[in-house]
Amino acid sequence: MTGHPDRPGVTDAQRRRADKERLVIEHLATGATYGAAASTAGLGRRTVARWMEDAEFRRRVSARRGEVTTEIVGRLVASSHEAINVIRAELQSGPRSADRLRAASLLLSLGLRYREQHELEQRVQRLEERAAAAKRPGAVDARGDGDVDVDVDDDGIGDQR
């Protein structure tokens, strides 16, 4: 679409197209099929498929999907304290031993999973920092092959030599 839909000089047709694009983007970002997204905007499935061939439109869908995911994760995190309290209450005072055992197993499983995720995030962040450092002027390329030399130490992450 050319022009911003809220600026003077934008035609009604451009404004309608922008509205339909926003509607389709929202639906695609939340998991709708091309057909379902098209239907909500009064379009054909092939129109949405054609729009998705455009790199800028795909980027907008992807960006909105990222925003939606961030919103969902935020809501889940906000509810996690309450959920953990429910599991802990079941662990401490569940009416049946099977219920208490399931609660204990769930807490252990979630705790390990979150710890592993946190450690993985930290390792990825360190790798990204090291990769950025390797791109800086003065990074060592002793072999002359275009790759900055790295040494993997006990943390399993390559350090620049």
Q: How much is the average pLDDT of 9-35?
A: 95
Residue type, 86: V
Q: Is the pLDDT of residue 102 over 50?
A: yes
pTM of the predicted structure, to 2 decimals: 0.57
First to last CA, the chain: 50
What is the pLDDT confidence band of residue 66, given thresholds at 50, 70 and 90? very high
Q: Is residue 99 a contact partner of residue 90, using CB atoms and an 8 Å limit?
A: yes
Lowest mean pLDDT among 28-32, 55-59, 111-115, 153-157: 153-157
Q: How much is the average pLDDT of 59-74?
A: 94
Residue-level pLDDT at 70: 92
Q: Is the pLDDT of residue 99 over 50?
A: yes
Q: Which two tokens stand for residue 54?
A: 């455009």
* Helical spans, DSSP H, in the chain: 12-29, 34-40, 45-52, 55-93, 97-135
Q: Is the pLDDT of residue 113 over 50?
A: yes
- pLDDT tens across 40-54, in order? 999 999 999 999 999
Residue-level pLDDT at 40: 96
Q: Is the pLDDT of residue 20 over 50?
A: yes
What is the pLDDT confidence band of residue 160, given thresholds at 50, 70 and 90? very low
Per-domain residue ranges of the chain: 1-77
